[in-house]
Chain A
Amino acid sequence: MISESIIPLFVAIPLAGAFLIALFKRLKGFPDTLGVLATAGTFTLTILFFLKMEVGQRIVFNVGNWGGFQEVLGRIVGIQLVMDGLTVFMLIIINLVAFLVALYSINYMTKYTAKWQFFSLFLLMVAGMNGVLITGDLFNLFVFVEIASIASYALVAFGTEKRELEASFKYAVMGGVASLLILLGIIFLYSSTGTLNMADMAQAVAGSQRPAIMYMVFGLFLAGFGLKAAIVPFHAWLPDAHPSAPAPISAMLSGVLIKALGVYSIARVFYTIFGAPTEVRIILMTLGAISMGVGALVALRQWDMKRLLAYSSISQVGYIMLGLGIGTPLGIMGALFHLFNHSMFKSLLFLDSGAVEYATGTRNMKEMGGLSKKLPFTGGSTLAGAMSLAGIPPFAGFWSKLIIIIAAVQANHMKLAAWAVLMSIVTIAYILKVTRFAFLGTVRESFANIKEVPVLMRISLVVLALICIFGGLILIPDIRDSLLSPAVRVLSGMGGV
């Protein structure tokens, strides 16, 4: 048994870290240390929850001790923080990536001047994302989405060059509009159900004939969270914003931010509140299929390494949406597993692109070549990430794509399954471009003296690469039943909320 009063620490630790860093910015080495310690702390807590929580258990914490009113009034008053299978699963992903990225940033960020600002904003973003995951209250979710978003707007502009500022402006305006749509949806939902608690809402919405206003709410949430998740008609900001940020932040944005704010929120809102309505699932499947295609095909003609990876993110989120849209337990499992894998390999690839930039000073693949010989760790880990992204067995990415495709076939969506297979071939094509042009071939003379990146950066790369190689082991029944299945059960409506 584990005490529910630990739950707020997931937000409190990074939040406190962010303010302490701003306070003691002049102490040498303090921002880095605290950044790493705070993320390590939340990651440890996540593991604690993962080990101690029983399967199917749901732990609720009443903020401000409003819980007593529930018995008197017969309804939930105040904000609840909820911990269930899906939350733990997502927390593991986010805090693991955040910890490794913090470790990596210690060396990488030395080339920027204001390191403390970076770590402060970084921890704010982590606090926001953790908050989105643990909250059980819809308006509270919106607030945490905004905390994470605003921190990420600032982080995209961190370089303060023309390119970064422009990308950040685009991202901030689109993100701002998305937030408005989400808020509007929440208002409609509140006015028709009279509650903000997600579990309460689910009961209020279920059963009776669905009022017409709900379709308006669906549209608003799809557009709002779709913008945060960068599904295709709403993707325009991502290929600018993600490459413009410093590499560790690109890894955070592509690896976990679009998933916590976009995919997770879509799953929570549509699957736990509305019980996965058919119309929404069809839209998710269609948009997922379009995202897959557009992302992969545009990625083919990119020469900027980070821009290619950003388009690849759009394509891979398409796979996750397809799996969610299929809606069978197998499809959802595929989607969540692919979400896990994508977080790992996409963070790894962005960190690798950062390592290449750190060593050579360029992101243009036309100028690279033969880097594997000079940067063995970077080259090796890129290869692991690339193989996982391309879906080569036995790398982790293969298994998740396989599950999604099998689920599509089982649910009788043959065309979608064929499309997913076709797009994974295109995926192989564009990721081979990275390994071929950047890491294989002959070394350029100008790069004759480059050195491998520092040790701390290597640790992050190697850990993520190992996860990419052995991630498929999650499917072993014992691990699956304790990690993946509880999360699937929450979304597919068996137990959980």
Chain B
Amino acid sequence: MNAYLPYLLCLILFCIGIYAVLSKKNIIKIILGVVIAEYAVNLFLVLVAYKAEGRAAIFSDTQVILPETMVDPLPHALVLTSIVIGLATTAFLIALAIRLYGKYGTFDITRMRELRG
């Protein structure tokens, strides 16, 4: 059970994010939902690379480090990329939220009803 707990918590975090996106009416909260879900996915990506007692994937002259004890470095590289992409999306969404506030004077998504059909 203990070994699965981090994954379970990660899933719960993801669900909280998706819940916020689906049910909240304030656009700032929706953006926060996207961000939370994104962090859950990034966390999961790091968890995939986790290895108990693992070492950084660097060989050393002074001590013996076996490749088997190293953590997989690739997901760490991927998660950096993913975080940067997330930053771009979040920045864009917040810029949109500011412009929307300027047009409507509210953050309430139910009162933005230009598009129908």
A residues contacting B by CB (< 8 A) are 139, 143, 146, 150, 153-154, 157, 160-163, 165-170, 172-173, 176-177, 179-180, 183-184, 187, 190-191, 196, 239-240, 244, 298, 301-302, 307
Contacts and interface: CB of A to CB of B under 8 A. Distances in A.
Contacts, number: 84
B112 interface: yes
Contact of A166 (B18, B112, B117): B112
A177 B92 contact: no
B69 interface: no
Contacts of A302: 117
Interface string B99-116: 110011000000010110
Contacts of A187: 41, 44-45, 48, 75
A163 B78 CA distance: 36
Nearest to B44: A187
A173 to B, nearest CB: 6
B25 to A, nearest CB: 13
Contact of B96 (A143, A172, A196, A307): A172
25 contacts: A143-B81, A143-B85, A146-B85, A146-B88, A150-B85, A162-B103, A162-B114, A165-B99, A166-B100, A169-B27, A169-B100, A176-B34, A177-B18, A177-B21, A177-B34, A180-B37, A183-B82, A187-B41, A187-B44, A187-B75, A190-B48, A239-B117, A240-B115, A244-B115, A307-B117
B16 interface: no
A167 B115 contact: yes
B71 interface: no
Given A167-B115, A180-B41, A157 B96 contact: yes
Given A162-B104, A163-B114, A154 B92 contact: yes
A163 B115 contact: yes
A196 B18 CA distance: 27
* Interface range on chain B (Cβ under 8 Å from partner): 20 to 34
Given A169-B97, A184-B44, A240-B115, 4 more contacts: A146-B85, A150-B85, A172-B96, A190-B75
A165 B103 contact: yes
Given A173-B34, A177-B18, A150 B44 contact: no
A166 B93 contact: no
A466 to B, nearest CB: 34
Nearest to A177: B21
Contacts of A196: 74
Given A169-B27, A183-B41, A150 B104 contact: no
B20 to A, nearest CB: 11
Given A150-B92, A172-B96, A307-B117, A177 B37 contact: yes
